[in-house]
Amino acid sequence: MGPSPKIQKEVIESCKAGSERAFGEIVLRSQKKVFNIAYRMLGNREEAKDLAQEVFLSVYESIKDLKEEVKFDAWLTQITINHCRNRWKYLQRRKYFKSESLDDPIETEDGDIPKPLYHPADNPETLYEKRLIQEAIQRGLLKLKEEQRELIVLRDLQGFSYEEIGELFQLPIGTIKSKLHRARMDLKQILEKANH
């Protein structure tokens, strides 16, 4: 999974000037990344869609404040992460995730499916198994701490570099690597527990 296509500086400037066409272009170029981060962070398509739309509304309202157009992607990711954190807190207050466990079915694009009856050590051969793996990963992500989930989503799912993540989190790269390793180990542990 690679980063979204680079948005040209002129488009950002046009959007700053109030061009809805430029804004639409920014949305089309960035929507997949924003929506996927939101979906992996929240685990729900509707919530992710709503959150991603809110992110772009924030972009439209505050793009005038963006000083450096070259940092647009980092700026957009930061807005997305911030929205995800706020929405996560909001959903937690509403006990949205309380009843969920790795044994519960999770929403997918095709509807709810039962928990995968496999171990990460097993070799998923079929497409069905691949889908089961993805859902297991999603369940595991939701069991992680928020920061760990962010790190794994950005690095392992979205392909961000350590430098980019370090800038977003305002942390040294070494610290990011260490934290990411701990997050991966915890996810591995969660998947093992879910299988037993």
Partner 1 sequence: MVCEEFRDRFSALLEEELSPLEERVVREHLASCSECLKDFERLDKTIRWLHSVEEVEVPDAFLSGIYEKMEDRKRKGLLAYQVKRGWFNYPASLKIPIQAVAMVATVFLVLYLTKMIPVEGPRLKDVDRAKEDYSEIKKMETGSIPRETKKEKAAALPPLEKPGLKDIGPTRAPVPREEKAGRRLAQKVTGEENRPAVPPPKTEIAAAETPRLMEAEKTKAPSSESVKLEDGVATKEKTSLAAKPPPEVILRISDQAKVVSELQELVKRFAGETVTVQENILLVSLPALSFSEFEKELVKLGSSAKAGKMMLQKDALEGSSAPAGAKKREGEGKVQEPARPIPGREGYITVRILLLRE
Q: Is 1 in the site for partner 1 (CB under 8 A)?
A: yes
Residue 111 backbone class (left: φ over 0; alpha: ψ -120 to 50; beta: rest): left
Q: Which of 29, 60, 91, 115 binds partner 1 (CB under 8 A)?
A: 60
Closest alpha carbon to 76 in 110, 39, 34: 34
Residue 172 is a binding residue for partner 1 (CB under 8 A): no
User: Cα-atom radius of gyration of the chain, to the nearest Å?
Assistant: 18
Closest to 105 (Cα-Cα) out of 93, 94, 117, 95: 117
End-to-end CA separation in angstroms for the chain: 30
At position 147, the amino acid (one-letter code) is E
19 binds partner 1 (CB under 8 A): no
For 93, the token pair is 């207050």
Using the rule CB under 8 A, is 148 a contact of partner 1?
A: no
CB closer to partner 1, 68 vs 105: 105
Contact residue for partner 1 among 137, 154, 165, 168 (CB under 8 A): 137
Structure tokens of 90? 């909001």
What size, in residues, is the chain? Answer: 196
Residue 39 touches partner 1, criterion: CB under 8 A: yes
Is 28 a binding residue for partner 1 by CB under 8 A? The answer is: yes
Pick one of 53, 78, 100, 107: the residue that binds partner 1 (CB under 8 A): 53
What's the rounded Cα separation, in Å, for the pair 146 and 79?
A: 16
133 is a contact residue toward partner 1 (CB under 8 A): yes
Complex with partner 1: residue 78 or 138, whichever CB lies closer: 138
Evaluated on CA atoms 169, 171, 173, 175, the torsion sign reads negative
* Choice between 84 and 180, CB closer to partner 1: 180
Interface with partner 1 (CB under 8 A), residue total 40
Residues that bind partner 1 (CB under 8 A): 1, 20, 24, 27-28, 31-32, 35-36, 39-40, 45, 49, 52-54, 56-57, 60, 109, 120-121, 130, 133-134, 136-137, 152, 156-157, 177-178, 180-181, 184-185, 187-188, 191-192
